Amino acid sequence: MHPVLEFRGVTKRFGTLTANDAVSLTLDKGEVLALLGENGAGKTTLMNILFGHYQADEGEILVDGNVLEPGSTQAAITAGVGVVHQHFTLAGNLTVLENTTLGTESLWSWRQDNKGAREKLVSLAESYGLAVDPDAQVSDLSIGEQQRVEILKALYRDARILILDEPTAVLTPQEAERLFATLKSVSQSGLAVIFISHKLHEIMAISDRVAVLRRGALVGTVATGETDSAKLAELMVGQVVKRPELVPLDAGKPILELGGVSTPGDGATSLHDVSLTIHAHEIVGIAGVAGNGQGRLADVLSGLIGGFSGSVKINGAPLAAGSPRDVVASGVGRIPEDRHARGVVGDMEIWENLASEDLRAPELSRGAVFINKAFGVSRAEQQIQEFDIRCEGPFAETKLLSGGNMQKLILARALSGQPSFILANQPVRGLDEGAIAYVQSQLLNARKRGAAILLISEDLDELMALTDRLAVMSHGRLSEALPTGSRTIAEIGLMMAGQSAEQQVA
């Protein structure tokens, strides 16, 4: 019997960088294989080669013993390969049925076979427990329901190999549990699954085997039942990784004070009467499904938007609305959600990005016209060493950094001035175990120094481990921030889905 999928010596180079180094790997029918590795380890590149987005420089891929045509997405789909991306590729203005059938019928067909398509979709949904209304408009669905549609799209196209890339990143705990139940169901029916995730507890819960990539090479494949999270982290990074622990500290004076903050609009992304106080030596977390107002709150605190009602104070002084410059001058350190789009300018050199938020400082500015490049470069060299930014030096282009090192650059810029308030928006999203431990240790060091920190995250494990108090944001409304641990994961998940404490009791 052939494996349903086989990589044989797959190598891919981008200039002098070897993204995949002679990777050989198999996947059996009905198996859930977890693919694990640091940022830049080659996981995404390997999947892009499988799905035809890239063409390998060496090696080959076989499906059911037959060589897959390289560089052809259509050949991959025809062979039964389906992909569910972390960011869904659905048309919000179309129905579930229309999204599912889109691109499956010939352009020369006289009419669509809606009846047959509906019957097939309903049958698949019932068989795999993926309940969804075929006539519902996708924009009206929850995130969990949209993910079901993505999986149904792949199954509708007769996928026999399903790739899921960080599939729980935007799900509540309850939705993640339902996803795992679905994966068990589809794998029992014979579907082979490649599960890509940075969450080690999920990998332990859902996979049969784990394949670990490090610097483009396959360094180990192990049966899940014969390992644990600590061993996987060590295999992935190459050394023992220990996450920092939260040490109890007495809260100090109020640093951030939000009073009845609301932003225009009545949708889920707008803020509605948000109030919160964070003290020195304190980390307060906000849990919530993406798109429920967390981004708008971060924009308010970053000075990116004005026009809101209510009050925002830092150290007792009103925060200037709509002025990032004044926000930084007020003692705010900003770690944005999207490091590529908002955190750095990729084409700028590393020293330029490190200096970008304080160009008017006396040490850097000469008459508000010229920049003291020598000082900026010298300081950047110190920050590179202090924050362990692995790069070719201060003059390297920032876009060449890995995700983890790019995040270290942002930390260096945000924390070097010892801000009194730190906005940490998804600070470890997409990072590997080693980088996560580093980022979290830096935040805890800032807390110990006396900073107040707002941690916005969709990872409940991170929030439970790293915060003093925890609030939940749903449809733009923020719950009371209670001591972390006073609510269960299940209760928080229900609140993330919009269910109040009173409704939970009822």
Mean pLDDT by 10 residues, the chain (506 residues): 90 89 95 86 89 94 95 93 80 90 66 80 84 88 81 87 82 79 88 88 92 92 93 84 89 96 84 96 92 90 90 92 87 89 91 87 70 90 90 89 85 91 88 81 95 92 93 94 92 83 50
Q: What is the pTM of this model?
A: 0.70
The residue among 390, 386, 358, 384 whose CA lies nearest residue 371 is 358
Residue for token pair 């705010």: 332
The structural domains of the chain, ordered by start, are 5-237 (3.40.50.300), 253-331+419-506 (3.40.50.300), 341-418 (no CATH)
pLDDT at 32: 95
Q: What share of the chain is helix, strand, coil (3-state, %, to 5)?
A: 35, 25, 40
pLDDT at 506: 46
pLDDT at 6: 96
C-alpha atoms less than 13 angstroms from C-alpha of 6 in its C-beta half-sphere: 13
Q: State the Cα–Cα distance between residues 309 and 300, nearest whole angstrom.
A: 11
pLDDT at 157: 87
Q: State the Cα–Cα distance between residues 172 and 177, nearest whole angstrom.
A: 9
C-alpha atoms less than 13 angstroms from C-alpha of 457 in its C-beta half-sphere: 23
